[in-house]
Structure 1
Amino acid sequence: MEKQEQKTYLEPTQESGRELFTRGIAGSVVMLNLLKFRKIADYSAAPQLAPDHPISGEAAYQRYMAHTMPFLEASGGEVMFFGKGGPFLIGPEHEKWDAAMLVRQSSLGAFMAFASDAECMAGIGHRVAALEDSRLLPLVEPEA
């Protein structure tokens, strides 16, 4: 059996963004983040953010979070949970995630304002350097 190259997911596509908006989400949205860190952060896409010495992907992600948190909080968002991951109990054996995070935003509009803030995005290079792969799943509470 030929080994297939595994596709990675680091950014939303135009199609996935459009689909998110067509869902008509009213009220708060919680983003489930699954994160797989690089062993060594790759700052080739953002050399201006690179530290003086090599750091781990996890350390680069911590830099991203430190940069991003003031913008997240100013937009009304909050990190509800951040924890270390590992292999699934139920799920594909080959998938292992280093960390999982739940981020709540008051609305989809607030999330988009946060995600498109130019000052906030100035630190996105830390995220790109940090991650080998990721998943982002918008969650909404069911209507009563």
Structure 2
Amino acid sequence: MSSINSIPGQAEESISAIPKGVPVVMINMLRFRENAKYPDGRSDISGRDAYAIYSGEAFKHLIKYGAEIVWFGEALASVIGPNDECWDQIFLVRYPSIEMFIEMINSASYQDILVHRSSALKDSRLIATIEGGK
């Protein structure tokens, strides 16, 4: 099942389980559309290019909210997992806290750039992690 945006209520419920005030690393797993699919029907650029537009703007938000990309790479093969669950890119972003992540994603300027992300992606995962565990 494809997941581009969170299901209403899903993000809030998931985020409530994350400890407050500690750094959180988000695992981003992306599969791009061959051609971006914008709400207005435009599809004149690739999904990768549309995501590049989004990520260029999103990077400015990461800096503003004290976040940083800690690892970025191209996914090559799924060694363990469903054969049909292959990814194009995977990257890790460290936020100072889940509160800063929430503040960023709720900002109006961040919301304005999400159209590029949604148009670019065929599928995605966003997994919140904390160091060490419980």
Give the alignment's TM-score, normalised by structure 1: 0.84
Q: CA deviation at 1:10?
A: 1.0
Give CA-to-partner distance per residue, 1:70-127, whole Å, 9 cap, x none. Answer: 1111100011122111321121112110000101100000000111110121111000
Q: CA 1:98/1:143 → structure 2, altered by over 3 Å: closer, same or farther?
A: closer
- Compute the displacement of 1:15 (Å): 2.9
Relative distance call for 1:121 and 1:16 in structure 2 (3 A) is closer
Unaligned runs of 5+ residues in structure 1 are 1-6, 48-52
Q: Which of 6, 9, 21 is the equivalent residue of 2:3?
A: 9
Could you say if the C-alpha distance between residues 22 and 67 of structure 1 is closer, same or farther in structure 2, counting changes exceeding 3 Å? same
Deviation of 1:22 (Å): 3.0
State whether residues 20 and 99 of structure 2, in contact with CA within 8 Å, keep that contact through their aligned partners in structure 1: no
User: Based on CA coordinates, which of the two structures has the bigger radius of gyration?
Assistant: 1
Runs of 4+ in structure 1 deviating by more than 6 angstroms, as ranges, are: none
In the alignment, which residue of structure 1 is the partner of 2:39?
A: 44
Matches within 5 A, 1:1-144: 7-13=1-7, 14-44=9-39, 54-142=44-132
Asked if structure 2 preserves the Cα contact closer than 8 Å seen for 1:46 and 1:125, the reply is no
Judged with a 3 Å threshold, the aligned counterparts in structure 2 of structure 1 residues 81 and 46 are, in CA distance, closer, same or farther, namely farther
| Distance change in 2, residues 1:46/1:93 (3 Å) | same
Name the amino acid aligned to 1:34.
M
Structure 2 unaligned spans of 5+: none
CA displacement 1:43-65 (0-9 Å, x = unmatched): 12686xxxxx7111011101000
- Looking at structure 2, the residues matched to 123 and 60 of structure 1 have their Cα atoms a distance apart, in angstroms, of 10
Number of residue-to-residue matches in the alignment: 133
- Conserved 8 A contact 1:25-1:140: no
Residue 46 and residue 83 in structure 1: after superposition, are their counterparts in 2 closer, same or farther (change >3 A)? Answer: farther
CA contact (8 A) 1:26 1:107 kept: yes
Provide the identity percentage: 31
Corresponding residue SS for 1:122: helix
Distance in 2 (alpha carbons) for counterparts of 1:140 and 1:15:
19
> Under a length normalisation based on structure 2, what TM-score does the superposition of the two structures give?
0.90
Let me know the Cα RMSD of the aligned residues.
1.9
